[in-house]
Amino acid sequence: MSVHTKKLIKNAYRITRDRDITALRIRVPGGHLPVEYFDIIKEVAQKYGNGTVHITTRQGFEVPGIPMEMVDKVNRLIAPILKGLEKDIGVQVNDEEIGYPAAGTRNVSGCIGNRVCPFANYDTTDLALKLERIIYPNDYHVKIAVSGCPNDCIKAHMQDIGVLGQVEPLYNPDRCISCGACVDNCHKRSTGALTMVNYRVERDEKRCLGCGECVLTCPNSAWTRGSNYYRVVIMGRTGKKNPRIARTFLEWVSEDTVLKVVANMYDYIEKHIDRRLPKEHVGYIVDRTGLNVFKDEVLKEAELDAKAKVAQFIDFGRYFYDRNQM
């Protein structure tokens, strides 16, 4: 059969190794999906697919083995999932009966966050849904992940944009019993930002990640949680061409700043993307324009309070495939 492959891919279907067979990608923003939709995914897999479902690295579901002539029927079947995107999240989908309107911007992945994890500093699902409203639907190839703490279980450092939760630890010396538990734990599990001076704990603000380990460790509640903030890391990527780990761009910024930066990034991409290519990762655009152009454009109208820090220079270390070393 004749297939418009670009249209098929935009509709969230994959071109597979088997002729006339496709696979459907189902978005799960923040990795959080109401179980009512499981029955629909199961029906798609059993009725139109090969009876299996693949859980992707971006926390979505991929249903393989779907004949391409069944795409319209599958789209009608998954309409309730798209209606959920509109009703529960606030994403604008013009016609749920014809399937996903875009697939370029990938599913926002997220760790389980502070709804469950005691180490997480914020509700990752809530932030992922707010980001979904901003970025979807969109054809630009962008990957975003949100992590509840600097431990980064979701691997936000491998994304175009990674958001890691920070908390400002507040110290009450009157409650401190000088046991050193927080200092010892910080040196073993974090950055060694705490030291004991004259039986009181001092925090090096330049070394502190805002992980909150001191708060969890203190037996006498001398450390408590202050305000929540975010670290934003940028331009991580895998792939065949120069894979690299994301580097810190912002730290100690507010949620509003995070949302504004992500929204502005799409304007930046629209302005600078190389349209000769079928797609271009935002990291390669930054490599071409330079960090200062990216910084000026994504921080436009973004409010930065007194605690906020912005990277003035980023040494984007990268990994090259060197055939001569083998």
CA distance 121 to 164: 9
CA-CA distance, 27 to 25, in Å (whole number)? 7
Which residues neighbour 184 within 8 Å (Cβ) at sequence distance 6 or greater? Answer: none
Are the C-beta atoms of residues 260 and 301 closer than 8 Å to each other?
Answer: yes
DSSP state, 49? S
Given a contact cutoff of 8 angstroms between Cβ atoms, the answer to whether 275 and 285 are in contact is no
Q: Rounded distance, CA 155 to CA 44, Å?
A: 30
The CATH architecture to which 109-165+229-325 belongs is 2-Layer Sandwich (3.30)
Residue 134 confidence (pLDDT): 95
264-308 confidence digits (pLDDT tens)? 999 999 999 999 988 888 999 999 999 999 999 999 999 999 999
Report DSSP letters for 204-260, one per residue.
-TTT-----HHHHH-TT--EEEEEEEEEEEE--B-SSS--B--EEEEEEE-HHHHHH
Q: For the segment 28-60, what is each residue's pLDDT rounded down to a tens digit?
A: 999 999 999 999 999 999 999 999 999 999 999
Sign of CA dihedral 72, 76, 81, 87: positive
Does domain 167-228 sit in CATH 3.30.70.20? yes
- Residue 326, pLDDT > 70, answer no
pLDDT of residue 324: 66
- pTM higher than the cut 0.85: yes
The residue ranges of every structural domain in the chain are 5-98, 109-165+229-325, 167-228
Cβ neighbours of residue 20 closer than 8 Å, sequence gap 6 or more: 1, 3, 67, 68, 69
The sign of the CA dihedral 22, 27, 32, 36 is: negative
Q: What percent of the chain has pLDDT over 90?
A: 88
Q: In what order do the strands lie in the sheet with 54-55?
A: 13-15, 21-26, 61-67, 54-55
Determine the pLDDT at residue 36: 95
208 pLDDT exceeds 80?
A: yes
pLDDT reading at 244 higher than 70? yes
* The amino acid at 287: D
What pLDDT, on a 0 to 100 scale, did the predictor assign at position 319? 73
Q: Single out the residue of 236, 239, 237 nearest to residue 321, CA to CA.
A: 239
Question: Which residues are bridge partners to 169 per DSSP?
Answer: 225
CATH topology of domain 5-98: Sulfite Reductase Hemoprotein; domain 2 (3.90.480)
Helix (H, G, I), strand (E, B) or coil at 290: coil
